[in-house]
């Protein structure tokens, strides 16, 4: 199992979540239950993403996907660094799993158009769902890579350069440079979506 890169304790943004992750991994049933409570949003996240993608998956597919997410979260729990809430961290796995399943679905010769209603009532689609899922997918795949993590902290955790500088122990200007280097790295991975443009 991949180990989390060493992050000084004073830079951990969600220390309680990190402690819970460590306790759950160490085998405590009570802490695993608490982890399950924190991650109870996973099936709903999958249902919402599925709805916004035009419901390509049925209820059973979503249950399988939720199991896959739980397995992936459990396997990678040691790599969780506490830089975002556990729920946000799990969101990346949801996008990742759904994205993989979407690719597999498109490789199949017959595409099933109709899917049963999963019971969720969500806001209307923004029309950028695939690009959005791709962003989360890419961010989840690069994991704790600091070159890209700075981008995630800037956009998803809302840190400005001052805060990023404090987080990494560098000047705000150096944080800004690091952020743009991270963006450049992401640009290659997300080129198809960027060129296609947002609606």
Tell me which residues touch another protein (CB under 8 A): 24, 32-33, 35-37, 39-45, 47-49, 52, 63, 66-67, 69-71, 73-75, 87-88, 91, 120, 122-123, 126, 128-129, 131-132, 135-136, 151, 154-156, 180, 183-184, 186-187, 190, 193-195, 197-198
Q: How far is the CB of 2 from another protein (least distance, A)?
A: 14
CA–CA separation, 34 and 105 (whole Å): 34
CA–CA separation, 120 and 53 (whole Å): 13
Q: Burial level of 21, CB count in 10 A (0-12/13-18/19+)?
A: buried
Q: How far is the CB of 132 from another protein (least distance, A)?
A: 5
Which residue bears the tokens 């209820």?
Answer: 59
Closer of 4 and 151 to another protein (Cβ): 151
Q: How many CB atoms lie within 10 A of CB 199?
A: 7
Closer of 95 and 113 to another protein (Cβ): 95
């Amino acid at each position: 199992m991949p180990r989390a890169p060493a992050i000084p304790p004073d830079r951990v943004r969600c220390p309680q979540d990190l402690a819970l992750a460590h306790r759950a991994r160490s085998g405590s049933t009570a802490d695993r239950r608490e982890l399950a409570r924190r991650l109870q949003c996973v099936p709903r996240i999958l249902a919402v993403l599925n709805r916004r993608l035009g419901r390509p998956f049925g209820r059973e597919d979503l249950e399988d996907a939720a199991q896959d997410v739980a397995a992936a979260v459990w396997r990678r729990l040691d790599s969780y660094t506490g830089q975002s809430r556990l729920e946000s961290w799990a969101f990346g796995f949801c996008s990742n799993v759904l994205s993989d399943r979407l690719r597999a679905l498109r490789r199949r010769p017959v595409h099933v158009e109709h899917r049963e209603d999963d019971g969720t009532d969500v806001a209307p689609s923004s029309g950028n769902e695939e690009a959005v899922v791709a962003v989360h997918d890419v961010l989840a795949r690069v994991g704790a890579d600091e070159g890209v993590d700075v981008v995630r902290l800037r956009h998803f955790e809302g840190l400005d350069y001052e805060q990023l500088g404090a987080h990494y122990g560098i000047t705000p200007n150096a944080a800004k440079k690091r952020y743009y280097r991270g963006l450049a790295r992401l640009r290659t991975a997300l080129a198809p979506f960027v060129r296609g443009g947002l609606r």
